[in-house]
Structure 1
Amino acid sequence: MSEARSGSSVIPDDAPVAALRRGELVESVHRGRYAVVDPGGAVIDSLGDPAGYVHMRSSAKPFQALPLVFSGAADAFGFTDEEIAVACASHNGEPRHLAAVRSILRRVGLSERDLQNGFHPPMHAPSAARLLKTGEGPRAIHGNCSGKHAAMLAVCIHAGWDPAGYRDPGGPLQGLILRTVETVCGVEPGGVKLAGDGCGVPVFALPLKGMALGFARLAAGGFEGFPDDLSEALLRVRDAMRTHPYMIAGTGRLDTKLMEGTALIAKSGAEAVFAAANTEEPHWGVALKVSDGAGRALAPAAVGALARQGVRVPRGFSTSPVTDLRGETVGETVPLL
């Protein structure tokens, strides 16, 4: 563990994971760390400090969606697998994404006004342009987390909890989600640290190897000793993500392309966090964090980590082109793993 400190936090050891090359020179280097873990918790491969804490950010969404299934809400309201998938999404705000979120809300008797995730324009540029042409501003449903928030509202309605308080870190829903993350990711009670995510709900920090473990168990559909309802929820969320990869991100996005072209489940997060897992035998999960949070380094670093496990990634993500103001390629970000 490095002795470098920021405030009261020890900065975990890391190493070069990606570099920007311009001409004949390496212009910039991005550092990071990753861990590959099997469902029993054995570390198969790692770089840097796998025990250092990392905020899961949106990589936590598949676990935040689990109560939607094991609470019985998904069956009670008749949610489709596509709707379960959008509950795990950082979606582009394309029409199919919005339709699925609206369907969740309609099934539980709520509306867009009940979403508390904030707003931003659709991440899909053509969808953002169409919205702009209508003269309307972005609303909460266009936010990439709206599926997650709609699912949280659904759990509250099913359980009889006040939906207005679904974001409360001390409320019953967020407490249930926290306990679920602890269980699936193998963290002792009290071992997950909480902060605020960009969409207004708690974000979870845990050891990087714990995040990889959670994804390994998601891919395996549970682990020995898990309650039946939790294992069934893991299987259903996993299968929804695999069956509807477009709903997890959307056009041109890394997570969607990986799931379309491999046997992986995958979920990226803000500040250059990435997690994936192999749904075929042998099951394993990988979690990666680019230390400086640079999005341009995420796909090359992820591709490098996956290649070490023998995964052949679809073309177009192994490097990230760097263009000038005329759109001409002048460099590229490449993996160093």
Structure 2
Amino acid sequence: MPRNPQPHYVPLVEVVRSGFGEGVHFGTAVGLTRQGEIGYTRGDVRAPMLPRSSAKPFQAAAALRAGARLEPAQTALAAGSHSGEPHHVKTVVGMLADAGLDTDALRCPADWPLDGGERDRLLRAGGAPTRLLMNCSGKHAAMLAACVAGGWSTGDYLEPGHPVQELVRQVIEEACGERVAHTAVDGCGAPQLAVSLAGLARGLRAMAFAPDSSPEARVLDAMREFPANVAGEGRIDTLLMRRLPGAAAKMGAEGVLAVTAPTGEAAAVKLSDGDPWFRARTMAVLDALEAAGADVDAVRDLAESEIRGGDEPVGRLRSV
């Protein structure tokens, strides 16, 4: 299989232990000013990349365009990567029921909850992974609701040529202002569409400035109203939106995070190592937002990450 050229990654965040530089998170970052101009770049922000779950707001907007009847709490979950908390699962069940479907219609894989406490509770109770618990089940339920509203087949809704996926492509290309560069398969089985990092930031910002009551505006309004449905307790997406009213944030796998500020700036980052401990991308995206002109003082502490030695803090992450 031919290997596509990777974006040019640069050092973004350094790991410092006991005064010694131990490691570096490489990646790319872009910040858009409130006028929508590129005001900050690190690395190649125009190379194609996979937004992963940061694309869910676009996918949710496509479901609404198709006529899916989703309440705001359901819309936020459609745009989110939920933790599998009980209220998340209940909301997904309700979304399916409202469309006249049950959980058998879901085509996402079975999984454990992302929330550690819920996972432990299920293990103690002898539970098992289910499709409902998978963090993308809200997105899948919304796609199915869109299929019912549009009169489309539901058994093949994950096929790239299915009308609901064609509509997702249309929404992404319109919002991001560029053509999709590649179609992959996401971890949940849905098509994953490659755009540039600059396009991702531009797309989320376009949703923030969309006309009132449009599908795009309804998605971001729902995310802001129900931030716990976009992720879950203690998770960065939820915390950023709670602590910075008017912001919209969505994380994606493999080190992606996109954020719009209440004042109109937007930023997106991609960490080349995937940022598996979720410790570097918040610092990188807040750096990009601040450089583009946004005030991030209210959430700057969310980027702090201690490096520990035994039971004591011995270092920290530091912007490069």
TM score, norm. by length of structure 1? 0.88
1:175-324 correspondence to structure 2 within 5 Å:
175-188=166-179, 191-222=180-211, 232-262=214-244, 263-280=246-263, 283-295=264-276, 296-308=279-291, 309-314=294-299, 316-323=301-308
Partner letter of residue 149 of structure 2? H
> How far apart, CA to CA, are the structure 2 residues paired with 1:178 and 1:38?
26
**Regions of 4+ moved over 6 Å:** none
The DSSP-based 3-state class of the residue aligned with 2:241 is: helix
* Mapped contact 2:286–2:300 kept (Cα < 8 A): no
Secondary structure of the equivalent of 2:221?
A: helix
1:314 and 1:213, CA in 2 relative to 1: closer, same or farther beyond 3 A? same
Aligned-pair identity in percent equals 37
Q: Is the partner of 1:236 in helix, strand or coil? A: helix
Kept after mapping to 2: 8 A contact 1:182/1:192? no
Question: What are the within-5 Å matches in structure 2 for residues 81-100 of structure 1?
Answer: 81-100=72-91
Q: Does 1:132 align with 2:123?
A: yes
In the alignment, structure 1 residue 49 sits paired with structure 2 residue 44: yes
Mapped contact 2:240–2:299 kept (Cα < 8 A): yes
Contact 1:249 1:255 in 2 (8 A): yes
- Gapped regions of structure 1 (runs ≥ 5): 1-5, 223-227
Check the 8 A contact 1:14/1:32 in 2, yes or no: yes
What amino acid sits opposite 1:254 in the alignment?
I
In structure 1, the residue corresponding to 2:87 is in which secondary structure?
helix
Give yes or no for contact 1:299–1:320 (8 Å, CA) kept in 2.
Answer: no
Aligned to 1:225: none
1:71-82 correspondence runs (5 A): 71-74=66-69, 79-82=70-73
114 and 330 in structure 1: CA distance in 2 versus 1, 3 angstrom threshold: farther
Asked if structure 1 preserves the Cα contact closer than 8 Å seen for 2:241 and 2:248, the reply is yes
Does structure 2 conserve the Cα–Cα contact (< 8 Å) formed by 1:300 and 1:320?
Answer: no
Q: How many residues align?
A: 315
Contact 1:54–1:205, Cα closer than 8 Å, also in 2: yes
Asked if the contact 1:219/1:278 (under 8 Å) is kept, the reply is: no
Aligned partners of 1:319 and 1:335 also within 8 Å:
no
Q: 1: CA distance between counterparts of 2:243 and 2:94? A: 28
**CA separation of 1:318 and 1:40: change in aligned 2, threshold 3 A:** closer
> Does structure 2 conserve the Cα–Cα contact (< 8 Å) formed by 1:187 and 1:210?
yes
5+ residue gaps, structure 2: none
- Take 1:234 and 1:183, find their aligned partners in 2: how far apart are those partners? 11
Instruction: Tell me: CA distance 1:22–1:38, structure 2 relative to 1, closer, same or farther (3 Å).
Output: closer
Query: 1 CA distance for matches of 2:311 and 2:71?
Result: 41
The CA RMSD over aligned residues, in Å, is 2.0
Matched, 1:332 2:316: yes
The secondary structure found in structure 1 opposite 2:297 is coil
State whether structure 2 residue 21 is matched by structure 1 residue 26. Answer: yes
User: What secondary structure is seen at the aligned counterpart in 2 of 1:34?
Assistant: strand
Task: Tell me the distance in 1 between the aligned counterparts of 2:312 and 2:110.
Answer: 33
Matched, 1:60 2:41: no
Residue deviations 1:216-253 (CA, integer Å, cap 9, x gap)? 1111125xxxxx9xx71111111000111111001100
Of stretches 57-66 and 92-101 in structure 1, the one that deviates more from structure 2 is: 92-101
User: Partners of 1:106 and 1:159 in 2: how far apart?
Assistant: 17
Secondary structure in 2 matching 1:169: coil
1:135 partner amino acid:
G
- In structure 1, the partner of 2:12 is 17
Structure 1 stretch 295-304 or stretch 193-202: which is displaced more?
295-304
* Alignment TM-score, normalising by the size of structure 2: 0.92
Cα distance, 1:7 vs structure 2: 5.1
Any idea what SS the aligned residue of 2:155 has? helix
8 A Cα contact 1:245 1:255, kept in partner: yes
- For residues 112-147 of structure 1, the C-alpha deviation after alignment (integer angstroms, 9 at most, x for no partner) is 121111122111111111111221201011111010
Partners of 1:135 and 1:316 lie apart in 2 by: 38
Aligned-pair distance for 1:8?
A: 3.8
SS in 2 for 1:302: helix
Aligned to 2:137: 146
Bigger mean CA offset, 294-303 vs 90-99: 294-303
